[in-house]
């Protein structure tokens, strides 16, 4: 039984939704005047019944973020620039490899953004055919570059070197940013201490069980309130809480200030992920700020297959421990040990026990085992990836 992904704006009439019988529930994003303020998993029957009871349920899901949005609307004050104003000039970097259809959808989404003078740069991370190149070159205004060695962090570093704007936003090829995504990210750099910004990432669709469990267990979303992160209030080892590389922006000179992305980390290498989190950790450790802005909305296509989901969770485990290995041994961030212990004893182990006891609603055990196996492999994968990069 699959789910459906829906959006409702509380300031608009609730539309009639004809959910298919195959949908047992829906993941509903709640908006207020277009601004996302909450989300909830709701039974399909509640959606079909609609009416005031649904509106009340959605308002409850909005919670504090909804109350804050209403207050700001009432008094006419916002902590950041409104999104109806042009943003500072920015480059959008799309790193891609062998996913031409995903890339096409991503570039089509970027074309729906207002023209604020941005440039779009596609870096092909050693694709095995010329399909990605043909897709990129078919879209007006897109600049195409190719890296001969695979590696997401290698491609990100190429974007930073080649960008012609002072702000550089990154999106993965399997994501589809909403039209105001870039403006929402870029406005946060008015604060000179901000070196990075991240945004809200929601699922593009939830047609399969694998996609639903991916969203439930390891969502890219970090809430519906704007947050400012700095090392004085959080350990750099907890940098995974600030957002995800699928929706992030950096100042172009970030590599000069804190060093480039570590090319032994993330997709295309043995470590599979973790490059974004490790960069966020170094930014915080250097005394800069990172802003999470939930009005920078992007949609991510979660892989639909169960084997793909299992591989994803394995990869997240590898990447997390690979990044922590670097932080511990080369950045001397000893708080990594405490965070690793807390993650295992407070989250991973209890989740696995509930699953093995078949507690209703518990996560599938094979996904949890995959993540744990990845954690165990992470440090070894990092050292092998470093060696392959000649370090």
The answer to which of 12-16, 180-184, 198-202, 315-319 has the lowest mean pLDDT is: 12-16
8 A C-beta contact, residue 81 and residue 180: no
Residue-level pLDDT at 77 = 85
Residue-level pLDDT at 365 = 97
Mean pLDDT of 257-261: 97
Mean pLDDT of 162-191: 97
CA atoms within 13 A on the CB side of 104: 9
Residue-level pLDDT at 82 = 86
Phi, psi of 318 (to 5 degrees): -60, -50
CA distances (Å), origin 35, targets 55, 63, 178? 16, 14, 12
| pLDDT at residue 22 tops 70 | no
For residue 169, name the pLDDT band (cuts at 50, 70, 90).
very high
For residue 24, name the pLDDT band (cuts at 50, 70, 90).
confident
Residues 91-121: tens digit of each pLDDT? 999 999 999 999 999 999 999 999 999 999 9
DSSP states along 217-278: HS-S---SS-EEE-TTTS-GGGGGGG--TTEEEEETTHHHHH----TTSSTTSTT-S-HHHH
| pLDDT at residue 17 tops 90 | no
Mean of pLDDT over the chain: 94
For residue 21, name the pLDDT band (cuts at 50, 70, 90).
low
| pLDDT at residue 59 tops 70 | yes
Residues 344-348: contacts with CB under 8 Å, at least 24 apart = 344/375, 348/372, 348/375
For residue 283, name the pLDDT band (cuts at 50, 70, 90).
very high
Helix boundaries (H) for the chain: 44-49, 51-75, 100-111, 131-137, 152-162, 181-186, 209-217, 254-258, 275-285, 306-330, 335-342, 349-356, 365-388
Angle at 381 (CA atoms; ends 380, 382), nearest 5 degrees: 90
Residue-level pLDDT at 2 = 64
CA distance 389 to 391: 6
Angle at 276 (CA atoms; ends 275, 277), nearest 5 degrees: 95
If we measure between CA atoms, which residue out of 217, 183, 177 comes closest to residue 200? 177
Q: What is the CA radius of gyration of the chain?
A: 21
Q: What is the pTM of this model?
A: 0.94
The more confidently predicted of residues 44 and 71 is 71
Residue 121 CB coordination number (10 Å): 22
Residue-level pLDDT at 37 = 97
Residues 293-348: tens digit of each pLDDT? 999 999 999 999 999 999 999 999 999 999 999 999 999 999 999 999 999 999 99
| pLDDT at residue 44 tops 90 | no
CA distance 200 to 298: 6
Residue-level pLDDT at 49 = 75
Mean pLDDT of 175-181: 98
Mean pLDDT of 60-73: 94
Q: Report percent pLDDT > 70 for the chain.
A: 98
| pLDDT at residue 19 tops 80 | no
Mean pLDDT of 200-214: 94
């Amino acid at each position: 039984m699959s789910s459906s992904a829906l959006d409702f704006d509380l300031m608009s009439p609730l539309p009639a939704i004809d959910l298919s019988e195959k949908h047992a529930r829906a993941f509903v994003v709640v908006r207020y005047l277009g601004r996302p303020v909450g989300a909830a998993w709701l039974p399909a029957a509640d959606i079909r019944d609609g009416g005031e009871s649904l509106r009340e349920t959605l308002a409850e899901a909005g919670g504090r973020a909804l109350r804050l949005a209403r207050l700001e609307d009432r008094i006419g004050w916002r902590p950041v620039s409104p999104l109806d104003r042009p943003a500072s000039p920015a480059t959008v970097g799309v790193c891609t490899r062998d996913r031409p259809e995903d890339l096409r959808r991503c570039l089509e989404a970027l074309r729906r953004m207002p023209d604020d003078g941005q440039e779009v740069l596609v870096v092909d991370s050693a694709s095995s055919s010329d399909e990605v190149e043909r897709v990129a070159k078919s879209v007006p205004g897109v600049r195409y570059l190719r890296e001969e060695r695979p590696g997401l962090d290698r491609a990100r570093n190429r974007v930073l070197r080649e960008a012609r704007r002072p702000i550089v936003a990154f999106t993965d090829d399997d994501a589809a940013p909403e039209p105001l995504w870039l403006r929402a990210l870029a406005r946060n750099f008015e604060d000179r201490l901000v070196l990075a910004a991240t945004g809200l990432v929601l699922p593009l669709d939830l047609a399969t069980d694998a996609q639903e469990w991916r969203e439930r267990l390891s969502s890219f979303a970090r809430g519906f309130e704007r947050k400012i992160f700095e090392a004085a209030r959080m350990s750099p080892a907890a940098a995974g809480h600030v957002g995800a590389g699928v929706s992030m922006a950096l100042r172009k000179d970030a590599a000069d200030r804190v060093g480039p992305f570590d090319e032994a980390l993330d997709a295309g290498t043995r470590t599979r992920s973790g490059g974004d989190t490790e960069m966020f950790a170094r930014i915080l450790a250097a005394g800069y700020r990172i802003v999470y802005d939930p009005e920078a909305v992007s949609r991510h296509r979660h892989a639909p297959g169960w084997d793909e989901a299992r591989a994803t969770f394995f990869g997240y485990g590898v990447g997390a421990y690979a990044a922590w290995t670097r932080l511990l041994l080369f950045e001397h961030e000893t708080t990594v040990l405490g965070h690793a212990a807390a993650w295992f004893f407070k989250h991973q182990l209890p989740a696995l026990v509930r699953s093995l006891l078949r507690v209703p609603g518990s996560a599938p055990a094979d996904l949890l085992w995959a993540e744990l196996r990845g954690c165990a492999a992470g440090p070894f994968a990092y050292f092998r990836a470093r060696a392959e990069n000649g370090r």
